[in-house]
Chains A and B, each alone.
Chain A
C-alpha cells in the first residue's frame, strides 16, 4: 500500500500539467467548435522559442515566458484571423484540414531550423525534490501543478467576470445575436485563439523544463490533450483538470503495475473505455 502513495501523488501533480496542455484545445473547441490539430505543434514551437530566448539572453526559463507569451498570442491571433476564420462554416473538415496543414508546416520548419535532436530547457530546480517521509516530491512537478491549476482558475474567472470573456462566450453561443449587439465576432474568435495560445506557451515552457522535446513531439501532446478533454468533456475547464488527473493516474498506475513500456497503452485504454461508455466525457454536455 505504501508504495502506491508515490505514483498516486505523482499522478495528481502530472495531471495539473496535462490540464494546462489540453486547456487551449478545449477552449477553442468550446468557443469556435474548432479542433486545432496544430495545438501540440504550437506548444512545441513555444518550447523552441523559449530555448532561443534562454540561449540568447542567458535567463531562467520562467522569465522567458515574458517574451514567449506575447509572441504566441500574436501567432494565434494571426492564425485565426487570416487563416482559420476564412474556412469556418457548417462543415467540420476544412478547418480541421487547414490546422493539419499548419501542423505539418510547423513540424518541418522546426526540423529545418533546429535539428531533430532532443532538447530541453534546463533550470536549477529540474532535479530538486522535497522529502516527505518516504515520499519524494519533485519541485518541478509541484510548480507544474500549481501553475496548471492557477491558469485553469484564472481563465474561468476571465470568461465569467470580464467583459471580453463574456463577449467571447456570447460570440460562441449565438454568433448572429452577438453581432447584432455590436460584437465583432471574427475579431473575438481571433482574440480567443490568442488566449488559447497563451496557455499553449505556458504549457510548452513547462513541458520543455519537465521532459525533453524534439520537432515531432507535438503529436504526442496533441494526443494527451485529446485524452484529457475526452475524459473530462470537450469545452469544459473543470473537465480539463479532472481529465488531466485521471489520464495521468491511469498512466502512472499502469506503469507501476505493468512496467513503463505499457504506460501510454494503459492511458489510451482508459480513454477508449470512457469514449465507449460516455462519449461526451465526465463534464461534457450530451449533444
Chain B
C-alpha cells in the first residue's frame, strides 16, 4: 500500500500555527497559560521522542537538562545581569556541554544501561545543586531579570520553542541523518555495514535534544520565576514526557503534539483531585501500552494511513 501524507496537511498545520500565534489576541489569560504550557511540553516531549522513538536512546534523565538549563538561566540573569533571552540561550548551550560530558560515560552503554546512566546523572546534579552554596542549596533561587519580559513575550518565546522543536525534528528526520536513524532503528548491524555512522548520528540527536530541552526549561523558569533543585531535577519531568509520548504515539512526529494536548487537558481537569490525577495518568498509560502500543497517532497511521508530517520521502 502506498501511503500518502494527508492531502490538506499544510493547511491544517498553518491553521494550528495561526491559532497558536494569535492566542494573545483572542484568548483569555487562562487560555494563554494553557497555550504556553502546551508549547513548552511539545518541545520537551518532542525531544524525548527524538531520543527514544527515533535514535534508540532511552533517556530517563531529561530532568538533568531541564534543571541545568533552568539554573544556568537563573544564575546568568540573577548574578551577572545578562539579558533574559540571551541567558535562555546560554542555558541551552550549557546543556549541550553537559550532554557532551555525559556522553563520555553513557555512550559506552546500550539500552537499559544508557537509561540508568542518564537517570544517575540527573540524581548527581540534584545532589550537587542541593549541596551547593552558590545556588543557595535546596532553598532555590528567585529569578529576577533586570527588565522582566511581559507574559506575551514569554508566550511567544514558548511558541518559538514549540514550533521550532517540531520543525527541527522534521528536518532532522528528512535529512541523511534521519534516514540513517530509521535504518538503525530497524536493524542496527545491517545499517552499520551499509555505512550509517551510528555513533555520530546518535550523539548529534543527543546534543540537539539537550540544547532544546535546556533552552525550553529556561523559558519555563522565566515564566515560573522560582527554581529549586528538588523540583527542577525531579524525575516527574521524565514521567510526564513518557506519558505524553506513549499516549500520543512513540516514533511519530504528531504523537507528542496530540499527547501533550491530552496531557494538558487531563491535568487541568484532574488537578483539583491531586494524587488521583497521577494515578489516572499511570493507568491510562498502562492501558494504552496494552491495547494500542503505538499510541493514538501510531495506531491511526497503521489503520488508516493518516499522516501529517511524514519523515518518508515517497
Q: Write the residues of chain A forming the contact surface with B, with a CB cutoff of 8 angstroms.
A: 35, 83, 86-87, 92-94, 96-98, 100-105, 107-109, 111-112, 219, 223, 226-227, 230, 261-262, 264-265, 268-269, 271-272, 275-276, 279
Contacts and interface: CB of A to CB of B under 8 A. Distances in A.
Contact of A104 (B104, B128, B239): B239
B150 to A, nearest CB: 36
B127 A268 contact: yes
A102 B239 CA distance: 12
A168 to B, nearest CB: 21
B44 interface: no
A103 B238 CA distance: 13
A52 B289 CA distance: 33
B242 A100 contact: yes
A208 to B, nearest CB: 22
B283 interface: yes
B279 A86 contact: no
Contacts of A279: 108-109, 113
A18 B250 CA distance: 35
Interface string B89-132: 00000000000000011101101110111011101100110010
Given A104-B279, A108-B276, A262-B131, A97 B285 contact: yes
B115 to A, nearest CB: 8
Nearest to A279: B109
A259 to B, nearest CB: 9
Contact of B124 (A87, A92, A230, A268): A268
A93 B52 contact: yes
Contact of A275 (B105, B111, B242, B285): B105
A104 B127 contact: no
Contact of B242 (A83, A97, A272): A97
Contacts of A226: 116, 119-120
Contacts of B52: 93
Given A265-B128, A275-B113, A223 B279 contact: no
Q: Closest 5 CB pairs between A and B?
A: A104-B282, A101-B286, A108-B275, A105-B282, A101-B282
Given A97-B242, A100-B242, A223 B112 contact: no
Contacts of A105: 279, 282-283, 286
Interface of B: 52, 58, 104-106, 108-109, 111-113, 115-117, 119-121, 123-124, 127-128, 131, 235, 239, 242, 246, 250, 275-276, 278-279, 281-283, 285-286, 289-290, 293
Q: Is the interface of B mostly helix, strand, loop or mixed?
A: helix
B286 A98 contact: yes
Nearest to B52: A93
Contacts of A93: 52, 58, 250
A102 B286 contact: yes
Given A265-B127, A276-B108, A104 B281 contact: yes
Contacts of A92: 58, 111-112
6 contacts: A101-B282, A101-B289, A226-B116, A268-B127, A275-B113, A279-B113
Contacts of B131: 261-262, 265
Contacts of B285: 97, 100-101
A2 to B, nearest CB: 28
B112 A35 contact: yes
B289 to A, nearest CB: 5
A108 B278 contact: yes
A268 B123 contact: yes
A164 B124 CA distance: 41
Contacts of A269: 124
A138 B289 CA distance: 46
Given A265-B127, A275-B105, A108 B279 contact: yes
A219 B246 contact: no
Nearest to A273: B105
Nearest to A215: B275
Contacts of B235: 219
A215 B135 CA distance: 28
A93 B113 CA distance: 13
Contact of A223 (B58, B123, B281): B123
Contacts of B106: 275
A268 B293 contact: no
Contacts of B115: 96
A96 B281 contact: no
A275 B239 contact: no
Most buried by B among A104, A272, A276: A104
A86 B293 CA distance: 11
